[in-house]
Each structure stands twice: as C-alpha cells, then as structure tokens.
Structure 1
Amino acid sequence: MIESWRWYGEFDAITLPEVAQTGARGIVSALHAIPYGEVWPRDAIAARRKEIVAAGFDWVVVESLPVHERIKRGEGDLPQLFANYRQSMANLAAEGVTRICYNFMPLLDWTRTDLAAPVAGGAACLRFDAARMAAFEIHMLGRAAAEDDYLSEVRARAAVWFQRSTDAERAALVSAIMAGLPGAFDRYDVDGLRRALAAYDGIGRDALRTNYKRFLDEVVPAAEDLGILLCVHPDDPPRDILGLPRIVSDGDDLEWILRAADSPANGVTLCSGSLGANPGNDVPDIARRVAGRIHFAHLRNVRKDPDGSFEEAAHLDGDTDMVALMRVLLEEEARRAGEGRADHAIPFRPDHGHHMLSDLDRDLISGYPLIGRLRGLAELRGVARALAHG
C-alpha cells in the first residue's frame, strides 16, 4: 500500500518537510483556490506537482476535483460544466496525476457539530452530536420536516441546548457545520444555507441518482481515454442530512454506482470512517464487495452512540475492525499483483486524527493535525507489516 498524506497546499500550516518526517511517500492534494466548476489550468497543476516532487513525494491522488452544485441539481449550463471537468481531467493526466477523488454530497462535505470535543487524556477530536445538529436544524434553521429525522429524546435535548446556548455558542455551531469545506468558496450563514437548501426543493434520492448517472456518463468515457481512475467518496455522515438525500452511504449505494458506469475508471474511495458512522454498515464486508474497484482508501475510525451521534476514535480503537479491513485491502493488492498489474498498490492515507500535544497550540485545519495523523499512520503501518508477515 502507498502511504500517503493529505496536504492543503497554501491553506495548510503543516509543511512538506514536516510531512516527510512521517514516512509517507505520497501526497494527496488539490487546487483549492480555484472556484468550483472552473478549469484547472495545466500550469497551475504543474506548479503544484513540481512543489510536491521537489520535496521528495509523488502526487498520488487529487482530492478533490469538485463537482459543481448545478451538476448535482441537474440545472443550468451543464454541457459547459461537464466540458470543464473533462478538461481539468485532461490537464491532470498530462501532468501525470491520474487518480481523482470526488464526492456527490449536496452542498456540504463532511459535517460535524464539534471541532474540538474532549478526548480522555487531554486531546481533542471531531464529533457529530445528534442533539446539537437537531438544535441547528429545528431551532436555528427552522427546517419544517427536521423533527421527523430525530428521536424524541434527541429533540428534547436539542431544545434544552438551544434554550441555554449563547449567541457565541450558536455561532460556533454554524462554523463547525461549515468547516468541512477547507479551501471552498461557498460558506453559508443560516439565511444563506436556507436559500441554498431551497435550490434542492423537489430533488429526492431518485432525482439525485439520475443527475449522478448523467455525470458518470459525461466523464467516465473521458477518464478511460485519459487513463484516469475516478474514485467517489462516501457520504459523511452516511445519512440524509438537512433534508438532502445522500446516495453514497452503504454497500448497496456503492454497487449501484459501479453498475451505473461499469468501467475500471469508475471506482471507490473506501473511507472507513464515513461508512463506519452508519450502524448498519459492516465496513470490511463492504470493502470485500467492491474490492476490485477500490482506487484509494481513507483509513480512520469512529465510535458511535445509540442516538446517532459519533466521534472520531483513535485509528485502531473505534467500532470498525481495522485489522480485518486492512486484510481485505492487502488481499486485493495481492490479487492485482498476481494479475501482473503495475498499479496494484492502493494509495491510502490516515484520515482525520486527534489534535494532541503541541498540535493543540497550532492553527491547523480541523481534523487534519500533524501528530494525530502521524500516530494513525504509524499504527496502520504496523498492522500492514504484521499482516504481510502472516
């Protein structure tokens, strides 16, 4: 497996020389300053790649080449947006960058309510608290059908939190919910989010799937021609949220996507944390079901509560059996190597991580500390080495 590290370029306080000390060999990065839907210029791609290579790394995965919201909604000048996406893929391929992670989540990427929830021993983690999310949806956003999405005891705790919360605490909650979009151009306050959600009125699961199928039809043939591997990232959290449908949340969803464009170019980012937040998901089993089309892996763990809350656990300590999952990935690599494939190795990165030690005093991107991910990478490296020795 190719040990990799997500790096946000000019938005990242962690430097490439620091990353080099983790032992990672690959960099996962993107051009976060370019607005969604615009073409990524080849010279900008070349400059980013030159910077990465000069530091001793390979640029192994683009994360992400974003899908414009109009494509997800199926409205507006879609031919131009599809053409721009294909041109960006062509420019990446011309610079030797051929794995692209993306997602099809409406409006928001990963969603949390707490960016620094306390962890035993003094560290901090990302947390999704069902009661705070309910407080936001019901009492702050005023979404009409939100009460139907939460258990009665969660709604009760949400009301108490809202009544007792200060303006600063409510502002912090909004900021946390928006934090899953580092480098993105669209940020919403409560009124702006209401307007953005209104644009999705009438778009349910079937309509979103139809729009996704059109996207695949438009870009997968070009990916085949360019030698690019596309790998969709699962929903985070893997459930409908804010009244928006989520269609990449479990094994059945992933298998539908792979059938929708039955091509090796159409693959999966196996994110153990996103899938692991769904109590119905057996992550190692899902990995077995889609193993042949896993092009990239995010390895992290979560610990779930019965009310729908969850938080980031240490990489080997959450609800997902990480050893079993790593075994699936290594067996798939061995199968590919047995076929003589030069691209048999699967890039993976330690995803998220606890903020701890000196990272607590640094202004780092939420969920992407240095030391917490270093710990995760070391633990995952140990598991892989042990499994490789039988």
Structure 2
Amino acid sequence: MADKDKNKEKLERLENFLKKVSNKIMVMSGKGGVGKSTVAANLAVFLSNRGYKVGLLDVDVHGPSIGTIMGIVWQRIYPSGEMLKPVLWSKNLKVVSVQFLLENPDDAIIWRGPIKIGIINQFLSDVDWGELDYLIIDSPPGTGDEPLTIAQTIPDCKALIVTTPQKLSLADVRKSLTFCKQVNIDVLGVIENMSGFVCPNCGTVHNIFKSGGGDELSKQYKIDFLGKIPIDPKIVEESDEGNLLDKYNGKVKEIMNEIVDKIINKLSKNNKGGESFMRIAIPMAQGELCAHFGHCEVFGIADVEDGKIVKEEYLTPPPHAPGVIPNWLAKQKVNVVLTGGMGPMAKNLMRQNGIEVITGVSGGTLRDVVEAYLNNKLVIGENSCDHEHGKGHAHKH
C-alpha cells in the first residue's frame, strides 16, 4: 500500500511539473556523431540568454555528454528534502544529467531498460525544476528505450531532428521520422549540422562534404528545415573548453540565432489565435512575397484580430539603407515580419524593436502567407540572404 501511495505521489508530481512547462522539445538523431548534444546545449543556452526559463535534461544514459559540452562535468546533483536540486548553469538555465551522479566521469553505466526508464522518470518527477518556458531533452541516437520513454511520458513533446548531410545520416533520420509518426510526436523541423567548413582565414563556408541533404529531406517529408550549421575550427576549440556559441561572435552564432527564432515562432503559433491583435508584414514584389526584404516594392501589412485577418494594406517603404526599414516597420507598429531572407544586422535591429522575424518563407500573396502562418502551415526553408563577412552582400535565391 505504501508503495502504491509513493507511486501515486510521484505520478502527481510528474503531472504537476509537466503542466508548468510551456514547451517540451526532444532533440533526436538517427545516428551518433552528428552533434546532437551540442545542438541541444546551445539551444538551451540561447533560449535562456533571451530571458526564458529553461531546463536541459540529458537522457542519454549510456553516453551522457551535456556536462562535458557545458564545462560542468564535475558538478553534482544533491537532495534537498524530498527533491533533487538541478545544476544551475545560470539564473535561467537548470541542467540535469546522469553525469552528475558519477564519481568518475569515465565510469561506464551498465543498466537495462527498466532501470533507465526509472531514472528518466525520476529526473522528471523528483527534480526541483520549477516553472519552465522550455524543457530541452537530449536523447541518445536511435529509437530505443530513452526516446520512447519520453514520448510516452510527455505526449505533447515535440521532436527536433539533427542530421549531417551524408546519405548514411539521412537514411537514419528517416527512421527517426518514422518513429515520431508511430508515437504521435510532432516534428519541429530538421537541422543540418556539420554542413560545410568555415575557413579560419576568410570566413567563407566551403562544402567539403555534400550539403543540402537535410533541406531536401524536409521538402520530401513536408517538415520545416531550420538551418545549416557549418563546422568552424575556432568553435571546435572553444567547445573543448566548455564554451558554447553564445561566447563566439561569427557566422555560426548568427545561424544559431536564426534557428532559435524559427523554433520560438513555430511553438508560439499555437497561441496566436489567443492574441487580441497582431500586425504582420511581408516584403512584396509583383504582388507576392519577394526573396529579400531589402528588394521589395511595397510591404504588405495584415492586421489580425483573434487569429483572423481584418485588414490588408500595402505601404511603400523608405529607400533601403542600414537600419532604416527596421525602424520604419517599428513605427508602423508591426510585430511580426515574414520574409525569404534578411541579413544579421537587420535581424538584430528587428529584435531590438520587439519585432519577431521569420526567414526562409517562400512566395505567395499577403493573405496566403499570413493565413499559412496563423494556421501553422507555413513551411520554413533557408534564409535566402547570406551576407558573407567582408564580401558585401551575396544573395542566394
């Protein structure tokens, strides 16, 4: 009877905790070695740096690496009353990993399925996470006990798939997508990691291996392609020291910011209908959304009330110059911009003015694009504007 009461109490704690988490994201990969844990760690840090309350849970029981990646492998989880205290990375980010239970980080963990399932449930129900805006879950490669436990325990969890461009990795990603379909997990999108190599001298990205496989796969399965992260030797060196992308100024950091923008917007779309008023703008040429906001003839602006378009207007922007259009859009009280491409400087100015930006949007009329956004049917591709450092503007269409 006592055991039943304890199990009931633990289940209630779990349910209460999950109710306090606005968004749950499981980072998955079909195979190992694609940088999945690095993506999960950076996603958690970037979200927390924007002021969100974030929990990062490492459920890769046999190969935990979050502690190493974040430079906190020697930290420990301690009991506090009946609960466990997570490791505090910052005021906004709490971290839990099996690594924090080991006396020696090189110790092997030899556990069968039931024990693994038990420790994952304990990390969810017995840790003092508090209220979270995001819970990022780093799962091991494949479709075994750990991701299945998360899928069954957190039914509203979303999957974020990480791949590399090679055919072998893409073949394994298809298994992950099949897994998500079978267990009814929505897929947020695909990230293509290790996509090209950033030259340490000129900053140009060279495709030393195949590139673009993740984008093609996304189109095939009609899911969002969130971005391509190249290999940068400077970042590899920093990662070995436990320093993440937020400490590094460069192209890869901007790419990560764009990926985070897309994730935030995709998850917030489910709540758009509850907002009383929105003002959404898209750059247009010849009656449809154009590839880059700086090349537009007019801006189409839609007023949205209770999730429905109530007004459309078309305004001619001022001449394109650095900082002009973001400030002009802010004066028009626009709070969302949907565009094919936008450079990093303009995106930062938009953020500073409180304007959300979605890049990688393909053509369509103002009404078509805005309604797709409101109905969570907007398919997002790559940012069509790639401003190479030191080389002016190079627009990819």
Normalising by structure 2, report the TM-score. Answer: 0.33
- Max radius of gyration: which structure? 2
Q: Taking CA–CA contacts closer than 8 Å with sequence separation of 6 or more, which of the two structures ends up with the larger relative contact order?
A: 1
Q: Which has the higher strand share?
A: 2
Normalising by structure 1, report the TM-score. Answer: 0.33
Q: Which has the higher helix share?
A: 1
